[in-house]
Structure 1
Amino acid sequence: MRRPLYLFPALCLLLVATACTSLGVVSAWLNDQVAFSAPQLQRQLDTRFPRTFDKLGGLVSVTLDEPRLTIPQGDRRLRLDFDIGVDGVGADSRPGHLALVSGLRYDPSTRGLHLENPELLQFGLPGSNALLQGGARGIVNSLLAEYARSEPVYRLDDDLLSKLPSGKSIGNVDVTDGRVVVHLAR
């Protein structure tokens, strides 16, 4: 008995659609790179904040909240803005603002993209005097260095890493054309 021919195009379409969903990740590695957009990185950041860090033996707590990641067109670094709260002697309870720019690097131990050479752009705490502002700035700089060393901005998922071509590993990470591009190396 002959099968109706109208099912053949539907079957082909279904096969193509299934192949496209699994090729998305693989096709990225075919060019020895994969790119991430700011919204992709933002989604992971949103799940990991607010974060509180104790400094000076617990005398001061710094809370980072509401991360906002942008990749300015034409820039080679990404920008991160946070609401910042400092809890300690003489600190105002209202949130301040912290902005930084940074490159990215890959760390195989965390399987993540970490800040590289973060540069503090803006730092302000409401109601603080210059002395507290300067001391808090030092604490924030040490916090940024610690965060860059240990915490990824974006963690590569196991599915993506399992599809690395044989003999290749993660190489340089560039911020270019409004995207984060992870290159492969031999």
Structure 2
Amino acid sequence: MRLFRTSAVAALAAILAACSTLGAVTAWLNDEVSFGAPQLQRYLDNRFPRDFDKLGGLVSIRLANPRLSLPPGEHRLRLEFDMGIGALGGQGAPTGHLALSSGLRYDASTQGLHLTDPELLQFDLPGSGSLIKGGARGVVNSLLAEYARSEPVYRLDPDLLEKLPAGKRIGRVDIDRGRVVVRLQ
């Protein structure tokens, strides 16, 4: 009986280890490679919380607890954050919520996947009046545009990029059937 339990535990550990690497990318297949939401989520988890200063430091935005999903049947990802806004150098505790939808594009200079055409879906700041909320929305839209331009949502592994087939380069990035698909051209 003891041998059976030990074998069962070892088999379960092996299955769990295999599952944790299922989403790992090692090679280009048919001129494409795909990623699941868990891979992108792990990358984001290591990059947040983050503080962004806007308007010359007059306003600070803190984004924390990113939650990325690839909704089935949609061709855009959904990204949600807890958000706080502070003024005059103060940091705002993340009491608000921000949700956006976006496509993805590849940027060779960062070797990463960046948001493209982000669309603000939800913006909630508890306790703020409509005037403040309207002004804050403009700051958040500015932050989204800056973030999409300069910060990757996911950085491709340099080993993967070294395995690009001769004469090929990264072309389109699609979101298809709950996966991010990077296609070569």
Q: What's the TM-score once normalised by structure 2's chain length? A: 0.83
1:30 deviation in Å? 3.0
Contact 2:61/2:92, CA 8 A, preserved across alignment: no
Contact 1:92/1:127, CA 8 A, preserved across alignment: no
Q: Distance in 1 between matches of 2:111 and 2:168?
A: 15
Corresponding residue for residue 46 of structure 2: 47
1:175 aligns to what SS in structure 2? Answer: strand
1:38 deviation in Å? 0.1
Contact 1:96/1:123, CA 8 A, preserved across alignment: yes
Alignment partner of 1:155 is 2:163: no
Contact 2:62/2:94, CA 8 A, preserved across alignment: no
Q: How many residues align?
A: 160
Q: Residues 93 and 166 of structure 1: is their aligned pair in 2 closer, same or farther, counting only changes over 3 Å? A: closer
Corresponding residue for residue 63 of structure 1: 62
| Gap regions ≥5 residues in structure 2 | 1-21
Alignment partner of 1:113 is 2:95: no
Q: Distance in 2 between matches of 1:145 and 1:94?
A: 21
Corresponding residue for residue 175 of structure 2: 175
Q: Which runs of 4 or more aligned residues in structure 1 lie more than 4 Å from their structure 2 counterparts after TM superposition?
A: 91-94
1:30 aligns to what SS in structure 2? Answer: coil
The 5-angstrom pairing of residues 133-148 of structure 1 reads 133-148=133-148
1:9-34 alpha-carbon deviations (Å, 9 max, x no partner): xxxxxxxxxxxx9xx622xx131000
* Most deviating of 80-89 and 58-67: 80-89
Larger gyration radius, structure 1 or structure 2: 1
1:110-161 alpha-carbon deviations (Å, 9 max, x no partner): 0000000000000010100001100000000000000000000000011110
1:94 deviation in Å? 5.3
Identity %: 68
Give the letter for the 1:110 counterpart: T
Give the letter for the 1:25 counterpart: T
What RMSD over aligned residues (CA atoms) do the two structures have, in Å? 1.6
The 5-angstrom pairing of residues 23-34 of structure 1 reads 25-26=26-27, 29-34=28-33
Contact 1:51/1:64, CA 8 A, preserved across alignment: yes
| Gap regions ≥5 residues in structure 1 | 1-20
Q: Distance in 1 between matches of 2:92 and 2:148?
A: 26
Corresponding residue for residue 14 of structure 2: none
Q: What's the TM-score once normalised by structure 1's chain length? A: 0.83
